[in-house]
Structures are given as structure tokens and as C-alpha cells.
Amino acid sequence: MRVTLARIRESANLTQAQLSSSAQISQGYYSDIEGGVRCPSPRVALRIARVLGIKDQDIYSVFYAPQACGGASPKQKEAAV
């Protein structure tokens, strides 16, 4: 789960539905992103970041760091199989 993303959204007093509407994505897709089920495309990450006021230099750590995308990189997951 992207705890940082959820905390940022909550501190902005936004629901998932409000944020997803502002970022022009479905609420289900946003829920999957925040829950760590899916990683957003760079374009979608940038739209969410703009809504939340996330600085450009922080986008990677919020959306793409290993702990943000299910805890392991695809190579790490493949090696574990």
C-alpha cells in the first residue's frame, strides 16, 4: 500500500472519488494505485501529483519506489518464483 500517497490525499481533505475526478481517472483505478495493486503511467502519476501538490522531484518516491509498487521490482518478483 502507498501509505505516503494516502496520507497526502487525506491531508488535502480529498476522498479517492474527488481526487480521481480531478485527475481525470476512474476511482477504481486510483484505488488500485493507492492500494499498491497498480503503478500509474508517468502521465497519470503527473496528473495525480498536480492535484495533490506533489513536487516533481518527489514523484518517483511516491509512485515508483519499490515499496510503492507492491514491495518488489518485477525482476525481484520473477527471481522469487
> Domain limits of the chain?
3-79
For 8-19, the pLDDT digits (tens) are 999 999 999 999
Predicted local confidence at residue 50, as pLDDT: 97
Give the right CATH number for 3-79 from 1.10.10.10, 1.20.1090.10, 3.30.70.20, 1.10.260.40: 1.10.260.40
Query: What is the enclosing helix (H) or strand (E) of 27?
Result: helix 27-34
What number is the average pLDDT over the span 45-56? 97
